[in-house]
Amino acid sequence: MKKFKKIIKRRHPFGTKYKSCQINRTDRWISVVSNVIFGGLHFSPTGFAVHSSRDVTPEWIGTAVRQALDTSEYLTPMEDIEREPLILMKASSNERRLAFWEDLASAYGYKNREATWNKYDSLFVRWFYEVEPDIEIVSTKSSRTGAHSAWPRNMNEGRVFHVPFAASDAEIGDMVLRAFSRCEGPGKSTEPLFP
């Protein structure tokens, strides 16, 4: 019997430049962190990263998302990566990531940074800035272990949102809040962890 190769249809050709950030939220806090794209997504060693108490305005969220995307960097497609610069970037990224979570834990009364990783809703944000005017915001599902993932394309209807980068800060923030309402908690829950 002949096996059929699964073909994944890409919306953009491999190597299309984009910017990225991640937005996380709990019942205590919200954070917006810029990513660097360098053989995968990494916490940006130099980009925008901010956290605040959860009760921020949509304008605050929109401003933070715009700054995070502005400072996100697309350095090189996967096939062209040189080993030494990647090692140095990963070390710098990890150092800043751990310091950020340490600061977040201290600010919101967690015992340590690991405790902040237990439960939060998360959004993945991408902007193909050379070919599209819209930001893409993807709601995620968290597992019992705390990992977050997007849905397969055939299951993501109503979980992927678009808003123009040129929209107002309030409009971007409102779309982020709509996307958070479609996140799902551990196991088979169809409710966000933190509505």
Span 106-117, pLDDT tens digits: 999 999 998 888
9 has a pLDDT exceeding 60 = no
Separation of alpha carbons 44 and 72, rounded Å: 7
Residue 193: C-alpha distances to residues 59, 88, 179 (Å): 23, 35, 13
Average pLDDT over the chain, rounded to whole? Answer: 85
pLDDT tier, 43 (very low <50, low <70, confident <90, very high otherwise): very high
Q: What is the dihedral of CA 149, 153, 154, 159, to 10 degrees?
A: 60
Separation of alpha carbons 173 and 32, rounded Å: 12
Higher pLDDT residue, 40 or 131? 131
Q: What pLDDT is stored for residue 6 in this prediction?
A: 42
Enumerate helices (H) and strands (E) in the chain, giving the number of each: 4, 10
79 has a pLDDT exceeding 80 = no
CATH numbers and ranges of domains, the chain: 19-181 (3.40.1590.10)
pTM of the model: 0.86
Residue 117: C-alpha distances to residues 24, 100, 102, 176 (Å): 10, 12, 11, 21
Kindly give, in sequence order, each residue whose CB lies less than 8 Å from that of residue 5, ignoring residues fewer than 6 positions away: none
183 has a pLDDT exceeding 90 = no
Span 136-165, pLDDT tens digits: 999 887 765 556 556 656 566 678 899 999
63 has a pLDDT exceeding 70 = yes
Question: How many Å from the N-terminal Cα to the C-terminal Cα in the chain?
Answer: 48
Separation of alpha carbons 185 and 119, rounded Å: 9
pLDDT tier, 33 (very low <50, low <70, confident <90, very high otherwise): very high
Q: What is the dihedral of CA 92, 97, 103, 107, to 10 degrees?
A: 160
Separation of alpha carbons 116 and 46, rounded Å: 22
Q: What pLDDT is stored for residue 145 in this prediction?
A: 56
Overall average pLDDT of the 97-114 stretch: 95
| Tally of CB atoms within 10 A around 43 | 22
